[in-house]
């Protein structure tokens, strides 16, 4: 097995791979601010509006494990380049959509190709920066980009919606795709898992259908948790996922080696990733609605209003990076989510006649400060100690946790919003802003409870000396590159 080639190009590779991560994360939120205009132009129902967001996160999360294995076996660079082209094509399809069905289908296709891109990019990063200080720096940069991507998506979405057209929230990806493809060709080296590799077809089928059924069941909860359809799809999803685990324990080359998630530290990191995804995808959608519908902000002003959280993350991330070797990830993973939860509780106090600078801005700053201490150690923990052969599967699991967490979180928040808000217009059709804020408050409080749960998970599962939690890595434990 060869050692990695340490070339100056690896820092250019980091830039390219970080750009990729930015694209797949910001596309989870870039359409949020555009949704009111898209809904009017295409005549979307409220259910279709939710599925414009959910289709991307669901396809992305459900197919990530398969995408990770394709990257491992077929070649990570090759998978990355194909994913880039497909993502660009799907973005063009969505930007030219003429009805809700086409837009939702395009978002699903974006998610499919993102499921190839994301694990390939993270696995390439893992083998390019295998150990030492450079690895810590690379993962800090990558994690910061991942953490700020959702908020950047809101800002860019507002800018494009107000000064161009909502369709550019999808078409803008073409520019990222061109840069990413050229950069990938020039600066990224091919790598793949060694040996005779076979795909786990039944594992791929059961996990994809299981996750899809689970998320769809949660999405139906808006109509009632006790309905036959809701219970049926949730039960089917749980059954299929149990079958997936049984299959993975018996096949020679599983789609998801159970040892990846059986490790308490990594398993805890994946669970925290899921909760964080619910906040970054689900809660930020309702923040966008509050800024536009209740506070009456224009799309760009709405995106700009979300920027303080991004700035706070960018301020905190370098501090967290320096502290990480000194104190280890555990204190950050316990304290960070609690800080985010405090911000969400403050945000839940919004009122129909409230002021952005009093009721929203402080909450965003506090949330950003907390998220910075979550994102920096999270990627390292999720991939710590993973065998090189399983780098793609592990990175896919980390991404899948965030996307599926976001899908489920959005569905739960939507159900809580619908149950709490009640009728949102009076008999004359005039919006009842207090009803909107009641619903948004319920969603923010639920997100806060989730972040407290994340802190408890960290305290319970992320245990061990800092040298054990953040191993420097073995220079010889690398996949074949070339």
Q: What is the pLDDT of residues 237-265, one digit of tens each?
A: 999 999 999 999 998 888 888 888 888 88
Whether 333 is in a domain gets the answer yes
CATH classification at residue 134 = 1.20.1250.20
The per-residue pLDDT for 473 is 43
What number is the average pLDDT over the span 286-310?
A: 88
pLDDT tops 60 at residue 323: yes
Whether 133 is in a domain gets the answer yes
The model's confidence at residue 471, banded by pLDDT at 50, 70 and 90, is: low
The last residue of one of the domains, among 233, 252, 271, is 252
97 bridge partner residues: none
Whether 299 is in a domain gets the answer yes
The per-residue pLDDT for 138 is 80
In the predicted model, what is the mean pLDDT of the chain? 84
pLDDT tops 70 at residue 427: no
- Identify whether residues 236 and 90 lie together within a single domain: no
- Identify whether residues 240 and 261 lie together within a single domain: no
- Identify whether residues 218 and 330 lie together within a single domain: no
Tell me: the pLDDT tens digits for 164-181?
Answer: 888 999 999 999 999 999
C-alpha distances (whole Å) from 45 to each of 52, 206, 355, 412 are 11, 31, 30, 19
Whether 3 is in a domain gets the answer no
pLDDT tops 80 at residue 380: no
Give the residue, 8 or 419, on which the prediction is more confident: 419
Give the residue, 90 or 121, on which the prediction is more confident: 90
Q: 247 is in which domain, residue-wise?
A: 200-252
Give 353's contacts (C-beta < 8 A, 6+ positions apart). Answer: 433
The per-residue pLDDT for 25 is 78
- Identify whether residues 348 and 360 lie together within a single domain: yes
- Identify whether residues 437 and 328 lie together within a single domain: yes
The per-residue pLDDT for 389 is 67
- Identify whether residues 220 and 190 lie together within a single domain: no
- Identify whether residues 54 and 160 lie together within a single domain: yes
Q: Is the pTM of this model over 0.85?
A: no
- Identify whether residues 167 and 182 lie together within a single domain: yes
Whether 230 is in a domain gets the answer yes
- Identify whether residues 229 and 323 lie together within a single domain: no
The last residue of one of the domains, among 252, 270, 294, is 252
The model's confidence at residue 5, banded by pLDDT at 50, 70 and 90, is: very low
Share of the chain above pLDDT 70, in %: 89
pLDDT tops 50 at residue 475: no
- Identify whether residues 290 and 432 lie together within a single domain: yes
Whether 4 is in a domain gets the answer no
Give the residue, 58 or 223, on which the prediction is more confident: 58
Share of the chain above pLDDT 90, in %: 31
- Identify whether residues 42 and 172 lie together within a single domain: yes
What number is the average pLDDT over the span 360-382?
A: 89
Whether 189 is in a domain gets the answer yes
pLDDT tops 70 at residue 190: yes
Whether 239 is in a domain gets the answer yes
pLDDT tops 70 at residue 228: yes
Tell me: the pLDDT tens digits for 99-108?
Answer: 989 999 999 9
pLDDT tops 70 at residue 328: yes
The last residue of one of the domains, among 229, 252, 275, is 252
- Identify whether residues 88 and 129 lie together within a single domain: yes
Domain count, the chain: 2
Give the residue, 276 or 466, on which the prediction is more confident: 276
């Amino acid at each position: 097995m060869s050692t990695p080639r340490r070339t100056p190009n690896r820092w250019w590779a980091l830039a390219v791979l970080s750009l990729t991560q930015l694209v797949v994360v910001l596309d989870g939120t870039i359409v949020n601010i555009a949704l009111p205009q898209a809904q009017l132009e295409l005549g979307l129902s409220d259910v279709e509006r939710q599925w414009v967001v959910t289709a991307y996160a669901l396809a992305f999360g459900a197919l990530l494990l398969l995408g990770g294995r394709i990257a491992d076996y077929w070649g990570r660079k090759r998978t990355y380049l194909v994913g880039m082209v497909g993502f660009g094509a799907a973005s063009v399809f969505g930007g030219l959509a003429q009805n809700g069905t086409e837009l939702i289908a395009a978002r699903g296709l974006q998610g499919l190709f993102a499921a190839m891109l994301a694990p390939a990019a993270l696995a390439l990063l893992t083998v390019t920066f295998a150990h030492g200080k450079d690895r810590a720096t690379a993962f800090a940069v990558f994690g910061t980009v991942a953490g700020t991507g959702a908020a950047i998506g809101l800002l860019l979405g507002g800018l494009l919606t107000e000064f161009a057209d909502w369709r550019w929230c999808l078409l803008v990806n073409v520019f990222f795709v061109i840069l990413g493809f050229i950069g990938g060709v020039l600066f990224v080296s091919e790598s793949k898992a060694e040996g005779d590799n076979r795909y786990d077809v039944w594992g791929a089928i059961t996990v994809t259908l299981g996750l899809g059924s689970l998320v769809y069941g949660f999405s139906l909860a808006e109509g009632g948790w006790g309905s036959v359809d809701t219970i049926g799809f949730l039960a089917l999803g749980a059954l299929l996922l149990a079958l997936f685990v049984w299959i993975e324990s018996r096949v020679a080359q599983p789609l998801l080696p159970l040892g990846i998630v059986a490790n308490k530290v990594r398993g805890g990191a994946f669970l925290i990733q899921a909760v964080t995804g619910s906040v970054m995808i689900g809660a930020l959608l309702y923040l966008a609605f509050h800024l536009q519908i209740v506070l009456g902000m224009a799309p760009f002003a709405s995106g700009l209003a979300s920027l303080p959280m991004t700035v706070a993350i960018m301020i905190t991330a370098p501090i967290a990076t320096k502290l990480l070797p000194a104190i280890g990830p555990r204190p950050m993973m316990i304290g960070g989510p609690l800080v985010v939860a405090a911000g969400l509780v403050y945000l839940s106090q919004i009122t129909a006649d409230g002021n952005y600078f009093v009721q929203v801005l402080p909450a965003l700053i506090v949330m950003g400060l907390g998220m910075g201490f979550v994102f920096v150690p999270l990627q390292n923990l999720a991939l710590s100690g993973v065998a090189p052969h399983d780098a793609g599967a592990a990175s896919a699991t980390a991404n899948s946790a965030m996307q599926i967490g976001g899908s489920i979180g959005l569905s739960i928040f939507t159900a809580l919003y619908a149950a709490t808000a009640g009728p949102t217009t009076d008999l004359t059709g005039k919006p009842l802003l207090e009803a909107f804020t009641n619903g948004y408050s319920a969603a923010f409080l639920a997100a806060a409870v989730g972040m407290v749960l994340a802190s408890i998970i960290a305290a319970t599962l992320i245990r061990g000396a800092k040298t054990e939690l953040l191993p420097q890595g073995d220079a010889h434990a690398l996949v074949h590159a070339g």
